[in-house]
Structure 1
Amino acid sequence: MTVKHATFTLERVYSVPPEQVFAAWSDPAAKAGWFTVPGGGHSLDFRVGGREVTTGPPDDGKRMVFEARYEDIAENERIVYAGTLSANDVLATVSVTTVLLEAEADGTRLTLIEQGTFLDGHEEPSWREQGTGDWLDKLGETLAR
């Protein structure tokens, strides 16, 4: 039985205003377009106390489930959620994530800070940081369209 704790911070600058970035997080259809994997499931109840559930495709051999509860939302400025990631019903991580949106020049600076507890080697902090960076890049591609 092992426990690793890790915190990472990622920043991205997008060439759209904070309202547009916030909408990409808060609208279920928009978020599904950049946050989910092909063939996976997604539901989003974007409000304080609301839940988000994302699942991997059923044919990947692992039943991956990410569940989040929104703890704080300041429209166009801040999103805070607590989440868990499980694979085949085995808890891999528990985390708290803060997303900050700040107007900058002609766009938005997004700062994401994640504080995670990684259990029994089921996921490594570096994997989570890489995956989170990948979907922030996908968000940027979506916003650029």
Structure 2
Amino acid sequence: MTVKHATFTLERVYPVSPERVFAAWADPAAKAGWFTVSGGEHSLDFRVGGREITTGPHGDGRKLIADSRYEDIVDNERIVYATSLSTDDVLATVSLTTVLLEPEADGTRLTLIEQGTFLDGQEEPAWREQGTGCWLDALGKALSAV
């Protein structure tokens, strides 16, 4: 039995207002467009105390389940949520994520800080950081397509 703790910070600058970036997180249809994987399911109740559940196939055929609870939301400025990630009902990680949105020039600087507990080698911190970076890039593509 092993436990690893890791924290990472990712930043992106998007050429749209903080209101547009926030809306891409808050609207269920918009978020599903950049956050979910092919063959997955997504539900979003975006409010303090609300849950977001995302499921999808793992590369080896197992089922991934991310279950998040929104702890703090400040419109157009901050989102804080706690997530447990399981693979076929085996808990892999528990994390706390803070998303900060700040106006910058003609756009928005998004800063994401994630603090994670990684259990029994089910997931590695580097994998999580890479995957999170990929969906922040997908968010940028979705924002530029609108």
- Give the TM-score of the pair, scaled to structure 1: 0.98
How many residue pairs match? The answer is 145
Q: Hey, what does 1:17 align to over in structure 2? A: 17
Deviation at 1:57, TM superposition (A): 3.6
Q: Hey, what does 2:121 align to over in structure 1? A: 121
SS of the residue 1:56 aligns to: strand
Deviation at 1:60, TM superposition (A): 5.8
Q: Return closer, same or farther for 1:58/1:124 CA change in 2, 3 Å cut-off.
A: closer
- Which of structure 1's runs of 4+ aligned residues deviate more than 6 A? none
Q: Hey, what does 1:37 align to over in structure 2? A: 37
- Give the TM-score of the pair, scaled to structure 2: 0.97
SS of the residue 1:115 aligns to: strand
AA in 1 matched with 2:105: A
Q: Hey, what does 2:76 align to over in structure 1? A: 76
**1:89-143 CA distance string (max 9 Å, x none):** 0000000000000000000000000000000000000000000000000000000
Q: Whole-Å Cα distance in 2 between the matches of residues 44 and 58 of structure 1?
A: 21
Q: Whole-Å Cα distance in 2 between the matches of residues 43 and 58 of structure 1?
A: 18
SS of the residue 2:61 aligns to: coil
Deviation at 1:18, TM superposition (A): 0.1
The answer as to 2:86 corresponding to 1:99 is no
Q: Hey, what does 2:131 align to over in structure 1? A: 131
CA contact (8 A) 1:39 1:58 kept: no
AA in 1 matched with 2:110: L
Percentage identity across aligned positions? 78
Deviation at 1:12, TM superposition (A): 0.1
Gaps of 5+ in 1: none
AA in 2 matched with 1:98: T
CA contact (8 A) 1:99 1:110 kept: yes
Name the Cα RMSD after superposition. Answer: 1.2
Q: Whole-Å Cα distance in 2 between the matches of residues 24 and 138 of structure 1?
A: 11
Q: Whole-Å Cα distance in 2 between the matches of residues 98 and 52 of structure 1?
A: 15
Q: Whole-Å Cα distance in 2 between the matches of residues 7 and 136 of structure 1?
A: 17
Deviation at 1:58, TM superposition (A): 8.6
SS of the residue 1:140 aligns to: helix
AA in 1 matched with 2:112: L
